Amino acid sequence: MALAIGVSLKMYFGHARTLEWVDAVAALARRHPAVRDGIVRLFVVPTFPALVPVLERVAGTGIEVGAQDVAWADEGAYTGEVSAVELAEIGVRLAEIGHAERRRLFGETEQVVADKTAAALRNGIVPLLCIGEAERMPVADAARECIGQLDAAIDGSPGGELLVAYEPHWAIGAERPAEPEHIRTVLTALREHLAATPGFAGGAIYGGSAGPGLLTELAGATDGLFLGRFAHDPAALEAILDEALRIRGAAA
């Protein structure tokens, strides 16, 4: 299974800067053996207005493109929303669902997350399902909390591929990620639970102030990383691809 390495740009960049960044990442993907040889499944998640030009720029590079949100409905009078039907039509492969900021700032509930997850799955979009405990707590409690969020998110869904992004809310935007042993324990629980859930397949990756060096620390315990501001510099992303290459080379 390829290591999933993804970058969300949130709302940090304007349109021109987004396209400049994507051009640099596309050039990186074309020449880097981790992407060329299928060791890494690289994906980028820009803003909605950038989706079509980003899809055009990454064509043929192996980079997958995700959306930062998705509507729970497939069509109708929902001003400002974007459906999974339309995302699939233009070639989007993933949709970020349930991020801590969506839950905190926009009041998204577990039911909203479940409805969006179902909409993505029924339209062939891979949910990039963000889950994580809101406050610091013992790791066993964090694992139980996250498994509960996962079960709630897929309740009523038709089944399919999931990419679970474990992002403890208290680590998002922090100077450092959560402690490696904490991450390992929660990710192991999530991966085992997902593997034992009928009708679903996929992996679990870590986000929350993730950056260069963390993939090495988590080797064997994660299916990849979900990156934010630390990957705004393409050189930092290249360092993480280099890590992936070393990890898989050592395991071969």
Catalytic residues: 99, 167
Query: Which SS3 state, helix, strand or coil, does residue 129 take?
Result: strand
Give residues with Cβ within 8 angstroms of 60, minimum separation 6: none
Contact (CB, 8 A) for 230 and 249 = no
- Containing 221, the helix (H) or strand (E) segment is none
Angstrom distance (rounded) from CA 233 to CA 136: 29
Q: What are the b/e assignments for 99-135, b being 16+ CB within 10 Å?
A: bbebbeeeebeeebbbbbbbbbbebebbbbbbbbbee
Distances (CA, A) of 207 to 17, 50, 100: 23, 23, 11
Alpha carbon 19 to its chain centroid, in Å, reads 20
Contact (CB, 8 A) for 133 and 146 = yes
